[in-house]
Amino acid sequence: MIPDTEYTCLFWADNDADASTPASLTNVSYTAGNVAFAAVVSGTPEAISTAVTLKHVVTKLTLQTTAAATIAEDAPLSIRTRCATTYNVLTSSADGATDCTVVQNISGSFAANENITSFYILPAGSKEDVILDCHNSTQTITAVPFSANTHITLKGDLSGDNGDKTETNNE
């Protein structure tokens, strides 16, 4: 690096074992369900810190049941929402909004107020609907406030008589 010359350095990390090395950090492909981090540092070689802190660019979404629930093996949990498919590290922006579905084969008995599952998405917008399919019942939670580096817990009755009783807690 040339002294007294401005540089911008981009950093990206994710846990997608199937992803290839990005050709460009201004158009990184993202697969729903993976954790992803990014950082941008700018300055001269003399001024740039060697300690770089990566931050989540994703939203962690956790489902929690408010009533005791048993999820059978033949009743997979399906979560649908809109998510982004690419990320630009330089501008800290997501793009390529698409409908994405995460299906998790979770089975067992869960106590009231127990977390059922968690997963990650790259937010496509500031507010998105989330559609849950469980026990042959569909619930739609409207306008969930997605943003990077946020953990959202959706709480509701995921038992067989779940109805439409779900609330959003944003951490």
Local confidence band at 35 (pLDDT 50, 70, 90 cut-offs): very high
Class of domain 59-170: mainly beta
- Distance between CA 34 and CA 133 in Å, rounded? 21
The confidence score (pLDDT) of residue 161 equals 54
Which of the residue ranges 37-41, 58-62, 80-84, 136-140 would you say has the lowest mean pLDDT?
136-140
- Distance between CA 119 and CA 104 in Å, rounded? 10
> Amino acid letter at 82?
R
Give the contacts of 44 (CB within 8 A, at least 6 positions apart). 3, 4, 5, 6, 7
3-state secondary structure of 3: coil
Mean pLDDT score of the chain: 87
Across the chain, the runs of DSSP E, i.e. the strands, are 7-14, 28-29, 36-43, 55-56, 59-65, 69-71, 77-83, 86-88, 93-95, 98-104, 108-110, 114-121, 127-134, 137-145, 150-156, 166-170
pTM (2 d.p.):
0.82
Question: Do residues 64 and 110 lie in contact, with contact meaning Cβ atoms separated by under 8 Å?
Answer: no
Name the one residue in this structure whose structure tokens are 């810190």: 49
Joined tokens for residue 171: 């951490």
Local confidence band at 167 (pLDDT 50, 70, 90 cut-offs): very low
- Distance between CA 89 and CA 139 in Å, rounded? 34
CATH 2.60.40.2630 in the chain is located at 59-170
Q: What percent of the chain has pLDDT over 90?
A: 55
